[in-house]
Chains A and B, each alone.
Chain A
């Protein structure tokens, strides 16, 4: 894939991000941060790729495994703390 294509995707995504985040109610700015922490854990698939490319038990592999550890920490920490916060915003009559 050419770099120009990737840059196009990046810039359009920034715009999508801008408009979607504008719509977030200020009351939920804390969960917004933790949800975005969680989804930025998507780098875990990058770590899985570098782990797959590593040949044998070398530094590349160790770095990849560490990256998997920290990205997974981000994913679970982020989603669980968001879940916990959002449960608090539940009303009595909400299901």
Chain B
């Protein structure tokens, strides 16, 4: 293997810059500098490698790298922030794919494979094929779980490892690759849409650990350190998301969402409110808390929401805050980005722990495109699938407005008793249209 002492030092410096890049994300104030650190570390590692390594095909390398640079920049600039989760799924997949290609190139040269050469390939391949499925699911393609799914998963999983234990010849690597590819698909296929934040985080971790695996086979510390950082990041995000949804990673991949519970919604009457009521109550309120969910993102209502908040603040001197549940949206932090896009000040956006004590003193909670994350059954009903999940306690506000298309259950399939509470008014309609109508009344 190639070892250059000078390069080794450079790689170490790059790795330190990557650590600083993530550290910068501790606060929005230092985050942009963090991103710059990351770019610097990357440029340093790549340029040093290009200068030191004796390559014959410089033109091919520049062409491949350059075309991808242009394409990547173009895509990153063009993608709508509502579709951010798809972009991340795409990048996870591409990251896994590059690890697969490097690992296979190495195996080709050695004509046989060993644990360190294949581990990055296997993990990377799962990240790759899993991300393809995740991408299409995020695009709205629905695929249902079928009965033998777990059996198929188990068979493929065993096939991968038995095969690995028994064969180490070159031609067997392709079979192993095919089985791993299918495993990645079959394990992601049955996952429900609400679990997407967890899946994206897990695939993110896989794409990182794949890089570590390649680092082992190339004896390259830069790859090992960076891969471990990314792997740790994805793992932590997955844990944060599973806790916020009261699910485990095992449940996400191997169990169907329980949808049996219907909690006596029949016979109860929800009070329909009008946009006039909403406008009147909010402009006379002291405190309003806005709770956005995926429905807000899907309707693209963030700009309307910001206009409404600004109007309330400037014209009626209402204190407006935004409350974000950890799993609101389709990926970790998605709501925060969308609100930031609409120029909502991040000082007015609060996490679950920060905002929950405030609902008691709030006059109005404006829940827009969210459902399960406010469902009080999560606290009161041990038989509910939601039980144990931390919720935003909107019911403590004097009046709760739910902007929804219908009374339907949320992603969990559980009815929300809050719809039928005396202090709840339903505003039926599209999140954006309803908000715009309220603005016109203010």
User: Closest A-chain residue to B354, C-beta based?
Assistant: A26
Contact (Cβ within 8 A) B230 A40 = yes
* A39:B21 contact, CB within 8 angstroms: yes
B214 touches A43 (CB 8 A): yes
**Does the CB pair B95–A74 fall under 8 Å?**
yes
| Consensus secondary structure, chain A interface | helix
> Using an 8 Å CB-CB cutoff, how does the interface string of A58-72 with B read, 1 for contact, 0 for none?
011101111111111
B102 near A47 (CB under 8 angstroms)?
Answer: yes
Report the bound CA distance from A26 to B237 in whole Å: 9
B236 and A21 within 8 A (CB): yes
Contact (Cβ within 8 A) A52 B72:
no
Report if B421 contacts A (CB, 8 A): no
B91 & A64 in contact (Cβ 8 Å cutoff):
no
Residue contact A21 to B64, C-beta cutoff 8 Å: no
User: Would you call B25 an interface residue if the criterion is a C-beta within 8 Å of the partner chain's C-beta atoms?
Assistant: yes
Q: Is the CB of A72 within 8 A of B68?
A: yes
Q: Which of B74-82, B188-196, B263-271, B374-382 contacts A (4 or more CB under 8 A)?
A: B74-82
| B 201-215 to A, binary, CB cutoff 8 A, 1 in contact else 0 | 100100110011011
Kindly report which residue of chain A lies nearest to residue B207, judged by CB atoms. Answer: A40
Residues in chain B within 8 A of chain A (CB atoms) = 2-3, 11, 14-15, 18-19, 21-23, 25-29, 31-32, 34-35, 38-39, 41-42, 45-46, 49-50, 53-55, 57, 60-61, 64-73, 75-77, 79, 81, 84, 87-88, 90-92, 94-95, 97-99, 101-102, 104-106, 108-109, 116, 200-201, 204, 207-208, 211-212, 214-216, 218-234, 236-237, 240, 324, 326, 331-334, 336-337, 340-341, 343, 345-346, 349, 351
- Additional 10 contacts, C-beta under 8 A, given A47-B105, A90-B28: A10-B212, A28-B25, A40-B211, A42-B42, A43-B227, A50-B218, A65-B64, A70-B94, A78-B76, A91-B345
By Cβ-Cβ distance, the 5 closest A-B pairs, closest first, are A17-B232, A29-B333, A76-B72, A13-B228, A80-B76
